[in-house]
Amino acid sequence: MQSSPAVIGVDSSTQSTKAVLVDAASGKVLATGRAAHTVSGEAGARESDPEAWWRALTGAVAEALAGFDARAVTGIAVAGQQHGLVVLDSAGRALRPALLWNDTRSAPQAAALTDRLGARDWLARTGSVPVASMTATKWQWLRENEPRTAGAAAGVRLPHDFLTERLAGTAATDPGDASGTCWYGTATRAYDPELLDLLGLDRGLLPVVAPAGATRVGSLTAPAARELGLPRGIAVAAGTGDNMAAAVGLGLGGRGLLDHPVVSLGTSGTVFAATRARPVTAALAGFAATDGTYLPLGCTLNCTLAVDKVAGLLGLDREDAVPGGEAVLLPYLDGERTPDLPGASGLLTGLRHATSRQQILGAAYEGAVFSVLRVLDELPHPDGDVPLRLIGGGARGRAWVETVRRLSGRPVVLPRTAELVALGAAALAAGAATGEDPVAVATGWGGGAGVTLPAVARDRAAWDRIAAVLPAFGSLGTG
């Protein structure tokens, strides 16, 4: 039984929901609950029913609470997959399945929106250039392809906004997740009225953006409390996007570490760092963080799922990989985001009679890791000796870790906490309940601490071999 104060952090990701019950004083994870999501679609489409997210949240929270006294819980927060488009009717129900971040059907709309203003203007306003992942492009796709649905929308939300509203009854978001829409200005820290006009999007359809650091947006409603088995009226935080929550969990931000690069290996692969300076470069998405700093980020669509697909096709376990030798495999199975190649498909080259299945699988790892690591030089960090913090599901796989070490030539820190997104959400919940700074809370919990693996000699031959397949990468491809 739990008697001291506890908080709940929820990670609502592309494939599943994880909920962690955390001791608010020590940061100890007391219990974890999980529930799967269903993703549907083909030929670039990726959609999910938002109601399934809510059912998964309630199931995961119930599992985490089993055997514990729910009366000890003082706050809850949701971190969610970024960029997804949820359109609601006046009763708060979804008008259609949500368009997910990895739905690439809006690539033509992304190109058209970029042309309308020019990449430089988009960067100046939002910190990012529209690509198919961004919410604005999905809204534009909906307007063009399903105008009746767009016209009937009484609310437009991001995935974590949708869940937070179910908890608190308040339509609210945070600067971090809002900065991934391409209609929020990271320079002005507000919705950009000219961009909303360009998109034909009524400001009244959007949630209020909570100020940076002001994490409490309401209290748990009676209906939500009944469904979750939690006390009515506990603090509900604004929450944030999954990458921003991972940064909080690691203690990155104004009251923690700055300019320390993180590599996240999950459904997508991302590289990011918390910075004080607002990034303006087309090579990165210039996101905001939750605490008033910034979170420049590079993202690839194809990471762990793509490599697992290759392993399945080869009839191998994911840990059967060996270095790829002469083989190069770019696992762009769902198009790609960084680089912006939404129509790309997988590419395998360099095969010889002596090439083994294990080498082909190793080449898939190398191609995925190359795509993630190649944006590192765009991040502000002191020098190449700064350790990489490696997180996500891939951080628990030997082949992933060793491939990152070999292609980066850097020391690697493996944080001891596996569910850093959910832990970051728990820190946001603790901040909402107590008024403390969530980054400072997470730093005190020590979520970013872990095992440091020393640098190994960089496999420059493998890096150059992959880079040569895509010469259009230019300076980024040369590492």
- DSSP per-residue string spanning 99-157: EPTT--TTHHHHHHHHHHH-HHHHHHHHSS---TTSHHHHHHHHHHH-HHHHHH-SEEE
Q: Which of 11, 174, 242, 291 is catalytic?
A: 242
What token pair was written down for 20?
A: 């962690």
Q: Cα(175)–Cα(127) distance, rounded to whole angstroms?
A: 13
Q: Cα(369)–Cα(467) distance, rounded to whole angstroms?
A: 12
Alpha carbon distances (Å) from 256 to 179, 400, 437:
21, 27, 10
- Residue of 55, 35, 243, 262 lying closest to 162 (CA atoms): 55
Please say whether the beta carbons of 417 and 447 come within 8 A: yes
Alpha carbon distances (Å) from 401 to 366, 377, 387:
11, 20, 13
Please say whether the beta carbons of 261 and 104 come within 8 A: no
Q: Cα(386)–Cα(379) distance, rounded to whole angstroms?
A: 12
Q: Cα(351)–Cα(328) distance, rounded to whole angstroms?
A: 8
Q: How many CB atoms lie within 10 A of CB 226?
A: 10
What token pair was written down for 249?
A: 């969990």
Please say whether the beta carbons of 168 and 377 come within 8 A: no
Please say whether the beta carbons of 192 and 144 come within 8 A: no
Name, in order, each residue with C-beta under 8 angstroms of 474's C-beta and a sequence gap of 6 or more. Answer: none
Please say whether the beta carbons of 338 and 298 come within 8 A: yes
Q: Please report, to the nearest 10 degrees, the dihedral formed by the alpha carbons of residues 303, 305, 309, 310 taken in order.
A: 20
Residue 242 a catalytic site member:
yes
Please say whether the beta carbons of 121 and 190 come within 8 A: no
Report the residue count for the chain: 479
Report, as residue numbers or ranges, the catalytic residues.
242
